[in-house]
Amino acid sequence: MAQKPSIPKGTRDFSPEEMAGRNYIFETIRGVFRLYGYQNIETPAMEYLSTLMGKYGEEGDRLLFKILNSGDFLKQVNTEDVEQKNLGKVTWAVSEKGLRYDLTVPFARYVVQHRNEIAFPFKRYQIQPVWRADRPQKGRYREFYQCDVDVIGSGSLLSEVELIRMIDDIFKKLNIDVVIRLNNRKILTGIAKIINAPEKLTDITTAIDKIDKIGVEKVYDELRQKRLPEETINMLEPIINLGGDNQKRLNCLKEIIGITSDGSQGIDELQTIIDLTKQVAIKAEVKIDQALARGLNYYTGAIIEVQAKNINIGSLCGGGRYDNLTGIFGLSDVSGVGVSFGADRIYDVLKELDRFPDHYQDATQVMLVNFGEKESAFALKIMEKLQAAGISAELYPDAVKMKKQMQYAHKKSIRYVMLIGEDEIKTGLITLKNMETGEQVKNGLPELVKLIKIQ
Instruction: Enumerate residues 280-309 that contact a second copy by CB under 8 A.
Output: 280-281
Question: What backbone phi and psi angles, to 5 degrees, belong to 157?
Answer: -75, -10
The Cα 334–Cα 323 span in angstroms is: 6
Shortest distance (Å) from residue 308 CB to a second copy:
23
Determine the Cα angle at 43 with ends 37 and 47, to 5°: 150
Size of the site for a second copy (CB under 8 A): 115
Within 195-234, the residues that bind a second copy by CB under 8 A are none
Within 103-132, the residues that bind a second copy by CB under 8 A are 109-110, 112-114, 117, 119-121, 123-124, 129, 131
Residues 143 and 161 sit within 8 Å (Cβ to Cβ): no
151 is an interface residue for a second copy by CB under 8 A: yes
Within 370-389, the residues that bind a second copy by CB under 8 A are 370, 376-378, 380-381, 384, 387
End-to-end CA distance of the chain: 50
The Cα 432–Cα 446 span in angstroms is: 12
Shortest distance (Å) from residue 328 CB to a second copy:
7
The one among 88, 243, 397, 428 contacting a second copy by CB under 8 A:
397
The one among 179, 201, 276, 406 contacting a second copy by CB under 8 A:
276
Shortest distance (Å) from residue 185 CB to a second copy:
20
Shortest distance (Å) from residue 220 CB to a second copy:
40
Shortest distance (Å) from residue 12 CB to a second copy:
6
The one among 57, 87, 140, 229 contacting a second copy by CB under 8 A:
87
82 is an interface residue for a second copy by CB under 8 A: yes
Residues 331 and 111 sit within 8 Å (Cβ to Cβ): yes
362 is an interface residue for a second copy by CB under 8 A: yes
In three-state secondary structure terms, 438 is coil
68 is an interface residue for a second copy by CB under 8 A: yes
Q: Cα-atom radius of gyration of the chain, to the nearest Å?
A: 28
**Complex with a second copy: residue 205 or 246, whichever CB lies closer:** 246
Residue type for 344, please? Answer: D
Among the listed residues 123, 267, 79, the one whose alpha carbon sits nearest the alpha carbon of residue 189: 267
Residues 163 and 130 sit within 8 Å (Cβ to Cβ): no
